[in-house]
Amino acid sequence: MKVKVINGANLNMLGIREPQIYGAGTYDDLTRKIKMFANESGVEVSVFQSNHEGAIVDEIHKAYFEKFDAVIINPGAYTHSSIAILDALKAVNIPTVEVHLSDISKREEWRKHSYVSLYAEKVICGKGFDGYIEALLYLLDKNW
């Protein structure tokens, strides 16, 4: 199985930005955890992060052309605002799991709406870094 993990705006600031919400682990810690679990599970994983909406859209398109089996995405703040990311996911029609470190349903009212969840087949919130592992396990259980 080949999985593209896409992280959006401000995820590169993990460990610095609001650690009481997002935890003390850094973005490097997160990518290490994802890659270690993927390697142990026989999953080919590619991890990408950008603060730019268009770059995220481009990466979703690349996932299609590079024949990825699934996408795990944490769009960051673009969750609540990006129709372009939603449209890109719909265009490529790749199974997608949406992940959020915090539980967006228990935060500010405007954070409760996710455009990506209109497409994602599963949404995992509030589990920190372990949410990415849960997403990989979910995809592995789909029997690819």
Active site residues: 22, 100
| Cα–Cα dist 21/6, whole Å | 20
Return the amino acid letter for 73: I
The CB-side HSE value for 8 (13 A sphere, CA atoms) comes to 24
Which pair of structure tokens corresponds to residue 49?
A: 């992060």
Are β-strands 44-49 and 96-100 bridged in parallel, bridged antiparallel, or unpaired?
Answer: unpaired
